[in-house]
């Protein structure tokens, strides 16, 4: 069921893309995903805190920073470097993690997502903007992002010692509904989005080469984390951590680029990267299950 559900949601998105309702449905599902479903999952997992979450947040954030710097040195292109480092954790990451690793182990994606979101909300604007951005503006934007707000709400709730409510039936139902809805919404939006995007073979080839480079960087960073990161459950989390380097560019990069530069160059990076990433994730999932 965990393996089939994201696929069914993706096919639903492909089928709905041609329907008139898709124009209203795509932004609605995206808004629900970013502003409600993912924050609920974050709050649940951070309130009922798992050891190592802070380390995973830091790992994700600094991994994104390193990827950005590495590719900027190679390309001298800030937008391309952002596409290389800022990954799609919401629409693709969560559904794939649940399908490959199951519900319990895939929850390491929550702190990883928070780390990537902090990077995206603090670094992405400076990368696509032609003018320097004030540090206070970037800090305000980061603090207003849904993942960070969810993290703050979770911190407040922990002060009231609500951990005993974890086994409450209502809480479990809300969490389960949010988790599966998050998976469906993410893959459905992804299907609708890809159906309307044209990609050329040259774009696929470029994205495939970048995927290989990104996974190579991931092997190095995950290897260093495995041996040196003080994370008690590193054996459980390392597979999910590597998934971070199999994912495509974040879809909201093109929205930021359009707003600040008036162009949409990153759309082809995102579309072709997503297609390559889907294949990479399937292969990765098969390898994980064979091992």
**Could you read off the pLDDT of 99-143 as tens digits, one per residue?**
888 877 777 888 898 899 888 877 777 777 766 667 787 788 778
Question: Taking Cα atoms as reference points, which of 101, 280, 96, 92 lies closest to residue 189?
Answer: 92
Q: What is the pLDDT of residue 7?
A: 79
C-alpha to C-alpha distance for 92 and 7, rounded to whole angstroms = 11
Residue 242 has pLDDT above 60, yes or no: yes
Tally of CB atoms within 10 A around 210: 21
What is the rounded average pLDDT for all residues in the chain? 85
Categorize the per-residue pLDDT at 246 as very low, low, confident or very high, splitting at 50, 70 and 90.
Answer: very high
The C-alpha angle with vertex 237 and arms to 235 and 240, in degrees rounded to 5, equals: 130
Average pLDDT of span 206-222: 96
pLDDT over 70 for what percent of the chain? 92
What domains lie within the chain, and their CATH numbers?
A: 4-290 (1.20.1530)
Cβ pair 218, 242 in contact under 8 A? yes
Tally of CB atoms within 10 A around 258: 15
Categorize the per-residue pLDDT at 1 as very low, low, confident or very high, splitting at 50, 70 and 90.
Answer: low
Cβ pair 133, 125 in contact under 8 A? yes
Map tokens 């991994």 to a residue: 63
- The two tokens of residue 192 are 């609708």
Categorize the per-residue pLDDT at 161 as very low, low, confident or very high, splitting at 50, 70 and 90.
Answer: confident
Least trusted range by pLDDT, from 93-102, 116-125, 216-225: 116-125
pLDDT over 90 for what percent of the chain? 30
Q: What is the pLDDT of residue 34?
A: 80
Cβ pair 195, 14 in contact under 8 A? yes
Question: Taking Cα atoms as reference points, which of 274, 84, 83 lies closest to residue 196?
Answer: 274
C-alpha to C-alpha distance for 239 and 265, rounded to whole angstroms = 32
**Could you read off the pLDDT of 46-67 as tens digits, one per residue?**
887 666 788 999 999 999 999 9
Categorize the per-residue pLDDT at 212 as very low, low, confident or very high, splitting at 50, 70 and 90.
Answer: very high
State the SS3 of the chain.
CCCHHHHHHHHHHHHHCCCCCHHHHHHHHHHHHHHHHHHHHHHHHHHCCCCCHHHHHHHHHHHHHHHHHHHHHHHCCHHHHHHHHCECHHHHHHHHHHHHHHHHHHCCHHHHHHHHHHHHHHHHHHHHCCCCCCHHHHHHHHHCCHHHHHHHHHHHHHHCCCHHHHHCHHHHHHHHHHHHHHHHHHHHHHHHHHHCCCCCHHHHHHHHHHHHHHHHHHHHHHHHHHHHCCCCCHHHHHHHHHHCCCCCECCHHHHHHHHHHCCCCHHHHHHHHHHHHHHHHHHHHHHHHHC
C-alpha to C-alpha distance for 14 and 28, rounded to whole angstroms = 16
**Could you read off the pLDDT of 11-42 as tens digits, one per residue?**
898 898 888 888 888 888 888 888 888 889 88
């Amino acid at each position: 069921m965990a393996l089939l559900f994201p696929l069914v949601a993706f096919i639903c998105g492909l089928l709905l893309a041609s329907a008139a309702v898709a124009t209203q449905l795509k932004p609605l599902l995206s808004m629900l995903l970013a502003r409600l479903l993912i924050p609920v999952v974050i709050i649940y997992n951070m309130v009922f805190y798992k050891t190592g979450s802070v380390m995973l947040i830091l790992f994700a954030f600094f991994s994104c920073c390193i990827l950005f710097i590495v590719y900027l040195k190679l390309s001298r292109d800030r937008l391309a470097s952002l596409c290389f480092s800022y990954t799609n954790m919401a629409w693709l990451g969560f559904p794939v993690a649940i399908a490959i690793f199951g519900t319990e182990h895939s929850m390491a994606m929550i702190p990883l997502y928070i780390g990537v979101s902090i990077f995206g909300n603090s670094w992405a604007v400076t990368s696509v903007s032609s003018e320097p951005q004030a540090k206070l503006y970037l800090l305000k934007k980061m603090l207003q992002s849904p993942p960070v707000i969810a993290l703050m709400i979770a911190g407040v709730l922990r002060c009231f010692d609500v951990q005993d409510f974890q086994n409450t039936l209502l809480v479990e139902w809300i969490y389960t509904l949010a988790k599966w809805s998050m998976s469906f919404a993410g893959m459905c939006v992804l299907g609708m989005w890809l159906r309307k995007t044209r990609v050329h073979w040259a774009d696929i080839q470029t994205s495939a080469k970048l995927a290989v480079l990104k996974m190579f960087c991931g092997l190095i960073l995950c290897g260093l984390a495995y041996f040196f990161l003080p994370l008690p459950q590193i054996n459980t989390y390392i597979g999910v951590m590597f998934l971070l380097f199999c994912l495509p560019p974040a879809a909201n990069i093109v929205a930021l680029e359009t707003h600040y530069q008036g162009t949409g160059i990153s759309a082809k990076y995102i579309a072709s990267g997503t297609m390559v990433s889907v294949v990479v994730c399937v292969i990765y999932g098969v390898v994980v299950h064979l091992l």
